[in-house]
Structures are given as C-alpha cells and as structure tokens.
Amino acid sequence: MRIGELSRRTGVPVPTIKYYVREGLLPAGRLTSPNQAAYDEVHERRLRLIRALLDVGGLKVAAVADVLAAVDDGGRSVHSVLGVAADLIAPRYAGGEADAERDAARVLVRELIARRGWLVEDDSPAADALATALAALGRAGHGDFAQVLDTYADAAEKVARTDLAYVARRAGRDGVVESAVVGTVLGDALLASLRRLAHADGSAWAYVNGKGGVASSTGVGEPREQARD
Amino acid sequence: MRIGELSRRTGVPVPTIKYYVREGLLPAGRLTSPNQAAYDEVHERRLRLIRALLDVGGLKVAAVADVLAAVDDGGRSVHSVLGVAADLIAPRYAGGEADAERDAARVLVRELIARRGWLVEDDSPAADALATALAALGRAGHGDFAQVLDTYADAAEKVARTDLAYVARRAGRDGVVESAVVGTVLGDALLASLRRLAHADGSAWAYVNGKGGVASSTGVGEPREQARD
C-alpha cells in the first residue's frame, strides 16, 4: 500500500510516519519508483505498536527507538531482549536525590526483595523507581504507607504471573518479545485505571451506606460484603 | 523560618518555591518586613506534597494547583473533594480517537463495571482512561489481552481496599483528603515498579530453570512453587 493508505488505516498523519522512518522506529517502505514507496502489514502493525507505546505508555520517541532496536536484534536471546526492554521501559521518576529518605527507601526495597525471595537486582531500574516512589512518600509524611507494601507486592505478583502466561502463549521469538513490551507498558495503564475505578466504587459504597463518607473509620476499607449489609 | 531554610530542608530551590507561591500551589509566607517572609511546617509539608505529585505523580503544575484548591476548599465534603481530586488526577492517555477499537473498548469497560458491580460512572475519567488503554491494546493486535482484565481488576480491588483503609485511619478531613491524593498518585508508581520487579523475578526463574527462558510455554506463568522444583 502507499503511505497515504497506511496513514488512513492507522490514523497516523503522513508527515508523522515519515518522521518515524527517519528516526529509525519504522522500517522504510520498499521503493517502487524514485519517489514512491510501498508499505505492507508489517509496517502497519509496527506503526500501531509505536503509537501504543507513545500514546498510552508515555515513552519518548528515543526510548521507543531503543526498545524496537532490541526487539529487532535477532542475535539476542529472548531473555536478553526482555531484560534490555524491561530496563528501557522501567518507569523513571524525578526526585531521586540522595537524602535520608532515599537511603531508608533503598533499605525497604532490599528487605522487600529478600522477603519475597525475588530473583532481581536491587539496583535495577525498577528497584530504583520503587525506591524513588517510597522516598517521595516518606518526604510527604506518608512513610507509614510502606506498611501496605506487601499487599501491593501480592497484587503485583498475581498480575505479573498472568502477564507472563499471556506472553508465553505467543508464537515465536518476535511474538513473545513484542507482546512482553506491549503488555508491560499497557498493563501499567490498565492497572492504574482499574485501581481508580475500584477507589471510586469503595468511596461510593461508604457514601451510599450513609456512614459519613470516607472520613468514617468504619465505613471505609471494609470488605464489600460487609458494606452492603 | 526564612525561605532559604525552607529550601535547604526540602531541597527545592528558592526561585522554584517563589514560582509555586505565584502559581497558587503554596500559600505565601507571613510578611515579617516589606521584603522578608516567614515560613513554617505547614509550608514545608505542602512543599513536599507538591514535589511528590510533580516528580513521581507526573502531574502538571496546573493540575497540582487544581487538586490543592479542592483540598483547601473547606466548604466541600470529604466525598466531594475525593471525587474532584480523583477526576483531576485520573491518568490521561493520548490516542483516544473514536474508531471501531474505541467503541469495542467502551463496551468492554461497561461490561466489566456491570460484572464487578462497581458503583462508578462508565464515562468517568478513569473509565475513559481504561477504554483508551484497551483500545490501544486492540489496535496493537493484542485485543485478547482483555481476557486477563478480571485478574487485573481483582488485584486493583485488593489494593484499593487497602488504600481506603489507610486513608480512613488518618485524622480529620484534611488528613483524609491529603492522604487520598498522595496514596492515589504514589500508589500507581509503587504498583508499576513492583509489577516490573515481579516480571523480572518470573523471567529469572524460568531462565534459571533452564527451560529456555520465557519463550518456553512450560517455564513461564507457572506458580513459583512448581518452578522451583
């Protein structure tokens, strides 16, 4: 298909498609004349992946280029690509300055990793992001929120197990790697949105029950079954 | 304390503090002379909250100003503030154009809300964000990922219940509202980081087991107990 058709199918403007080609995110079309190129379903699929990572994943163009370069490097093992991609798409938060809260957060992360028996580096980008978030909680006066860390870790483990099972069902190296990247990035968005909906539901139940809204220590945080009675 | 001391304690540069005051994020100090103002612990705490929302929460300055205005509006009930704050800090993703994937995603979200019995509006910003993420998955050729939506919803509910219990334990209206804002925004970051760590752990177990890394359909997604044997 011509670039105009690719644009129409994906909703991505022609100049943007050309920009992605220049930046190495999208392979160039096959030249059919000196100034005309043909694109196929591989381009279309890749373009949709790029948009998902940029729009919902919030990645920068340069990060998407790096992730896709790792995906396309056929010489890498699946495990190696997943490691590289995971580091590239790890959340990165500002506010990572070294201070007492940051030191305390790093200790919490190391303890958590040991307690869960996780086979992960405690200085990986994901561990670093967790320490940054915990340090920010500490600085904001909510260091005790860390008490619920294991509830969060339980939920994260459950979701991660489902993710890995989904990825393992895909056919071939490229399918596995691509679905791991998509699932990792878009899964964050699903989880964040669902958590907000569950908050709204919990708050509504407390409110509907006439127990004074979430300020009541009895109306909130109870299991749904109780709240309904 | 003077502004220099406030800056030293929080690590926020003096010009940035002045900018926050101008933008209405931080109340002005109490004037002790025509060109000198005194700041106290309330300013310090608010400043740390602002930094957490900006740095880790990734909110824009204008959004932080709106959230804090709602928090500071004493005429609002807790339930009303929580609703306003939830809408303001809902994740917002690009790529929300109307198309067939978007329509299909909205149906999925409505069905999910009905299935879970959630008392939420299906056109709230959170429901909208969920539909955007699901539509992006569909466009990227991963519409079948929606099959794991209930696993995600289970995890989100569990975490949300813990969040609400944490919030309900705080003293007074301001404590409840402030902790809800902090917990909502920083909780997303905790959950995303923990999910990445759990992915790395799952991938490592599959790899260590010599089952060919995550490409193997038997080495991944198994319960940890099995994988260790």
Residue A122 has pLDDT above 90, yes or no: no
Burial class (CB in 10 A: 0-12, 13-18, 19+), B229: exposed
Residue of A52, A56, A120 lying closest to B201 (CB–CB): A120
Give the pairing type, strands A30-33 and B30-33: unpaired
Helix (H), strand (E) at residue A137? helix A125-139
Per-residue pLDDT band for A154 (boundaries 50, 70, 90) equals very high
Query: CA B198 to CA B125: how far, in whole Å?
Result: 28
pLDDT bin (cut points 50, 70, 90) of residue B208 is: low
The pLDDT score that the predictor gives to residue A39 is: 96
Q: What are the structure tokens assigned to B176, written together?
A: 């409840």
Structure tokens at A203: 């708050």
Contact A94 B49 (CB under 8 A): no
Put simply, the answer to whether B119 touches A201 (Cβ < 8 Å) is yes
The shortest CB-CB distance from B151 to any of A82, A159, A196 is to A159
- Bridging pattern class, strands A36-38 and B30-33: unpaired
CB contact under 8 A, A51 and B119: no
If DSSP codes are grouped into helix, strand and coil, which group holds residue B4?
A: helix
> What mean pLDDT do residues A146-158 have?
94
At A97 the three-state DSSP class reads coil
Q: Do A141 and B186 touch (CB under 8 A)?
A: no
Q: Which of B3, B59, B52, B54 is nearest to B27 (CA)?
A: B3
Residue-wise pLDDT for A53-107, tens only, equals 898 888 889 989 998 988 888 787 777 788 888 888 888 888 777 888 899 999 9
Contact call for B124 and A197, based on CB within 8 A = yes
A–B: how many Cβ contacts below 8 A?
369
Q: Which residues of A touch B125 (CB under 8 A)?
A: 196
Residue B39 pLDDT class (50, 70, 90 cuts): very high
pLDDT tens-digit series, residues B82-137: 888 888 888 888 877 788 889 999 999 999 999 999 999 888 899 999 999 999 99
**Lowest-pLDDT choice from A201-215, B103-117, B161-175, B204-218:** B204-218
* B133·A56 Cβ contact <8 A: yes
- Signed CA dihedral, B79, B85, B87, B93: sign only: negative
CA atoms within 13 A on the CB side of B94: 11
**Minimum-distance CB partner of A220 among B164, B194, B202:** B164
The residues with which B36 forms a beta bridge, in sequence order, are B33
| pLDDT mean across residues, chain A | 85
Q: Which two tokens stand for residue A202?
A: 């919990």
- Taking a C-beta distance cutoff of 8 angstroms, is the pair A45, A72 a contact? no
A81, two tokens:
């690509």
Mean pLDDT of the A117-130 span: 92
Q: What is the pLDDT of residue B23?
A: 93
Chain centroid, CA A57 distance in Å: 6
Q: In angstroms, what separates the C-alpha of B34 from chain A's closest C-alpha?
A: 31
Strand partners, B4: none
- B55: CB partners within 8 A, 6+ apart: A93, A94, A95, A132, A136
Contact state of B55 with A94 under an 8 Å Cβ cutoff: yes
CB neighbours of residue A32 within 10 Å: 10
The Cα A11–Cα A13 span in angstroms is 6
| pLDDT at residue number B207 | 57
Best of B93, B194, B205, B220 to mutate (most A CBs within 10 Å, chain A):
B194
